[in-house]
Chains A and B, each alone.
Chain A
Amino acid sequence: MARTLQKIGDDGPLVRPDAVEAQIDAALTLTPQPLLARLAITDPRDADHLRSETLVHLVRHGRRTGDQGLISLVLPVLLARCEANLIVKVPDGQLPEAATVREDILGEFSELFASDGTGKDPAELDFYECKFNRAFRFFRIDVVRREAGQLKHVAQMPEPDEDSEPEPHDEVFARVSEAFRSPAMQDGDVFRSELHDAILELPPDERDAVILVHALGYQEESDDPGEETAATRCDCTGRTIRNRLTRAATKLARFKEDL
Chain B
Amino acid sequence: MTPTLTASPPELREALYALSIAKDVPDAALLDDVVRRFPQFGGELTNFAIAIAIDALHGDAVVEAAEAALDPNVLSPAVSRAMSRFQNRLHAVSEPTRLPAATVRSVSADAINPFASLSREDFRGFARRLDASSVFVAKLRDRQIEPDTLTPGFRKRVADNLHAPLDVIVAHFAAAQGGAAGPQFYKADGKPNNGGRQTFEEAVRSSGLSEAQQRALLAL
Contacts and interface: CB of A to CB of B under 8 A. Distances in A.
A145 B4 contact: yes
Interface stretch (B49-57, B101-109, B144-152, B168-176): B49-57
B10 interface: yes
Interface of A: 9-10, 39-44, 68-69, 72-73, 75-77, 79-81, 83-85, 87-89, 97, 99-100, 102-104, 106-111, 113-115, 118, 120-121, 124, 127, 130-131, 133-135, 137-138, 141-142, 145-146, 148-150, 152, 179-180, 183-186, 189, 192-193, 195-196, 199-200, 204-205, 207-208, 211-212, 215-218, 228, 233-234
Interface of B: 1-8, 10, 13-14, 16-22, 24-28, 31-33, 35, 37, 42, 46-64, 66-70, 72-73, 75-76, 78-83, 85-90, 92-93, 120, 133-135, 138, 180-182
Specify the main secondary structure of chain B where it touches its partner: helix
Given A42-B67, A89-B63, A108-B120, A149 B86 contact: no
Contacts of B68: 42-44
A82 to B, nearest CB: 8
Contact of B61 (A43, A146, A184): A184
Given A127-B21, A207-B50, A216-B49, A84 B63 contact: yes
A142 B8 contact: yes
Contact of B57 (A107, A127, A195, A233): A195
A131 B21 contact: yes
A7 B120 CA distance: 26
Contacts of A228: 28, 31-32, 35
Nearest to B5: A149
Given A138-B17, A211-B50, A115 B66 contact: no
B86 to A, nearest CB: 4
